[in-house]
Amino acid sequence: MKIRVGFGYDVHQLAEGEEFWLGGIKLTHRKGCIAHSDGDVLIHAICDALLGAANMRDIGYHFPDTSNDFKNIDSKILLKETVGLIAEKGFTIGNIDATIALQEPKIKPIIPEMQKVLSDVMGIELEDLAIKATTTEKLGFVGTEDGIAAYATVLIQK
């Protein structure tokens, strides 16, 4: 068995009046992500980690923000396609560990729902997807609520 590890990171600017998608779920909040797609930083970080682990470049290479094909696209579609891309190379997902850095809103209560939605999209067991949330103690662009960031580490196997 061959195993590989990948790391993904994504960030989006937050602005009032934008939709806020996170972990495949639409949140109600005064701010949302400015993005070409739906701006789901968690999904984007997971996609980058999976693609990196399979040595398949990054999310922007496969789903460029210069293409109208991906304008306002549901990131769950991108995630499903990413899982398909790594499967074409013979890889399956071992596990995923992700962290969301966000000052507001507090998302810990909806993490189980995010895990369910994303594990269903990827076709993995719920226990193979860890999602955590943190603030930056009001420091940096996350702390001032100007942006959101997500990090993901994945293990894939062939």
Is 84 marked as a binding-site residue? Answer: no
Answer yes or no: is 62 a known binding residue. Answer: no
Q: Is 60 assigned to a binding site?
A: yes
Is residue 67 a known part of a binding site? no
Q: Is 61 exposed, middle or buried (0-12, 13-18, 19+ CB in 10 A)?
A: exposed
- Residue 12 annotated as lining a ligand binding site: yes
Residue 134 annotated as part of some ligand binding site: yes
Cα 98 to Cα 14, 43, 47, 118: the distances in Å are 20, 10, 11, 12
Query: 136 a known binding residue?
Result: yes
Binding residue per annotation — 58? yes
Is there a binding annotation on residue 141?
A: yes
Residue of 153, 156, 151, 128 whose CA lies nearest to 4 = 156
Please tell me whether 82 is known to bind a ligand.
no
Q: Is 91 annotated as a binding residue?
A: no
Instruction: Give the residue ranges of the annotated binding site.
Output: 10-12, 36-37, 44, 58-60, 134-137, 141
Instruction: Give the residue ranges of the annotated binding site for a divalent metal cation.
Output: 10, 12, 44
